[in-house]
Amino acid sequence: MRVSAWCLLLLMMLPMTLLAQVEFETITVGSGFEGALNVRTADLDGDGDIDIVGAAETSDQFAWWENTGAGWTYHFLGEMYWATGLDTGDMDGDGDIDICGSPATVDNVCWFENDGVGNFTLHELTTYGGARHVVAGDFDGDGDLDMAVCWESGNEVAWLENIGEATNWPSHIIGSFSGACNLDSGDIDGDGDLDIAVCGNASGDIGWYSNDAGSWTLNMLHESFSSSRAIKIADMNNDGMLDIVATSRSDDIAWWENEPGTWPMHYITTTFDGADDVHPVDLDMDGDMDVVAAAVFADEFAWFEQDGGTWTQHTIDNTMDYASGIWVDDVDQDGDPDVLGAAYYSDTIMLYSQVGSPNPDPVTLTLIPQMTEIPAEGGTVIYDAHLLSVVGGSFPGVSYWTTVIMPNQTEVGPLFELTFNLAPFMDQTATGLTQDVPGAAPTGTYSFVGHVGYMGNPNLQISDSFTFSKAGATSGEFVFDPDQWQGSGSIVSEDEDEAVLIPTVSSVAISPNPFNAATTVTIQLAQTDVVSLRVMNLLGQEVTEVFSGRLNRGQHEITINAGDLSSGMYFLAGTIGTQSISTKLVVLK
């Protein structure tokens, strides 16, 4: 038997070289939504599924579509002249998801207060009429969500401070930025607070503001990315640093690598006609970051597959007139990312639901029995083991252990255990492994089970098994004695630098995962160390801090409450000493 639950830990690390075979089912969410420009997702009515929010510029409206399980029901939110910018978050801290909006002309930045079941009250913030885009984030570190806005006609970036009131939020200037039309937030410099990336339409400027206790410093990356339209923050090369991705109406999508002081630029494409919105995400779940984008002149939604730094374009839909907005989430909650698109002249919000998955299990264990007939006086089971990883990363502290399912179906063990480092692309075949079976063992058929993973977490394990038989009869009552069930051998080569046996290491396990209300993070420390763990969303933005501080050697348990997390995929990321941690979390409500 092979268990694919390790995908929760390892799928984000898989650098597959196979051609992508991602397929989509096309679903119309909303039609007649004139000037559909922007789209987001959240569980707005608290029923555990993913709903959809949209902004329509021509019809001057914000709206949301309720996921009924059998279709989508339209709900009008409010009329704002040239509705453009859109984001979601729990703005009032009451446990439900609210909606932020920015109209591109005279009306004010606003937010729609949710009563918890999908009824909304519009609140206008009496500053920044004509803000082009808005993003929610805790920019002053006081525990509530503020809003950052970009003012294209005013060439300005600012943030509005949430002071616990519905309106009249104080405005703070971040800086002057020519043609500021789009922005995103994330901890770019890794100092624990939210920074802001911004792009300028007419100027083609690309830059980011570092946040230092409310003092903002502009770091300009590019000054000629012509007609830049959208910008996002994400770790594009899996080095633990947040990079910056941007589009240009001059058919370009590029990313800037976070190397302090240099920020080299890398093109993803130069031929995506009218590149507009962009969303970095590991769409094919092979462990590297891909890019989903919309192109207004090509009328196309597409995704660009990353493979070792090279990019392959795959069309999702090229029939949507003036494809303008893009978003990615696991809308149908089946474990893979889906794509949402807003088409301006088609007046439509579309859902492209990903179907199937071409990826194999990232790690497999195959046991090959060689001697499985045990005489009455006892003997030794002999087997080979093949361990295969298609993962490009290494994972320390992985265990191999064995158990036996007795003839009465009782499982006993572990009988044999060792700990090793799972090396990148490990492909090991170990021969002549043994398992002793004492003469006192009952007569019958046994299942011998080998396991690889983290012993304390059933969601992070794979296994394989075979059967063997034991002859003869046992006199008296059988009592299991582990000392009589000795195993031997190693499934890794001890001369491999990345695969040597190690006596003890630090590790993190999560159970349950997926989870609804809460989950437990079990931290096993080989020595006293500094631990920093946080929950990140798919864009690499910090959602909440799990723990930061020094822990003593031994086992520790920390609870993650899902009260402020909407359904979807997240990552538990951070460090134990110098060891990096990155584990997928799945919230199902």
**Spatial distance between the Cα atoms of 416 and 455, rounded to a whole number of angstroms:** 12
Predicted local distance difference test score (pLDDT) of residue 20: 44
Predicted local distance difference test score (pLDDT) of residue 139: 93
Does the predicted TM-score (pTM) go above 0.85?
Answer: no
Displacement of CA 403 from its chain's centroid (Å):
33
Predicted local distance difference test score (pLDDT) of residue 11: 38
Long-range contacts of 117-122 (CB under 8 A, 24+ apart): 117/45, 117/46, 118/44, 118/45, 118/46, 118/51, 118/64, 118/66, 118/75, 120/77, 120/78, 122/77, 122/78
From the first residue on, what is the mean pLDDT of each consecutive set of 10 residues in the chain (589 residues)?
40 36 92 96 89 96 94 94 92 91 84 93 80 92 92 91 92 94 93 93 93 93 93 90 95 95 95 97 86 98 92 96 95 87 98 74 86 91 89 74 90 86 82 90 92 75 91 72 84 49 54 80 72 81 83 75 80 78 77
Token pair, residue 280, equals 């970095």
Token pair, residue 411, equals 């499982």
**Spatial distance between the Cα atoms of 120 and 111, rounded to a whole number of angstroms:** 9
Nearest 10 degrees: Cα torsion 448, 449, 450, 456: -140
What does the buried/exposed string (b/e) look like for 517-539 if buried means 16 or more CB atoms within 10 Å of the residue's CB?
eebbbbbbbbeebebbbbbbbbb
Going by C-beta distance under 8 Å and a sequence separation of 6 or more, which residues neighbour residue 341? Answer: 39, 294, 301, 316, 317, 320, 323, 325, 326, 349, 350, 352
Is the distance from CB of 88 to CB of 329 less than 8 angstroms? no
Other beta carbons within 10 Å of 93: 14
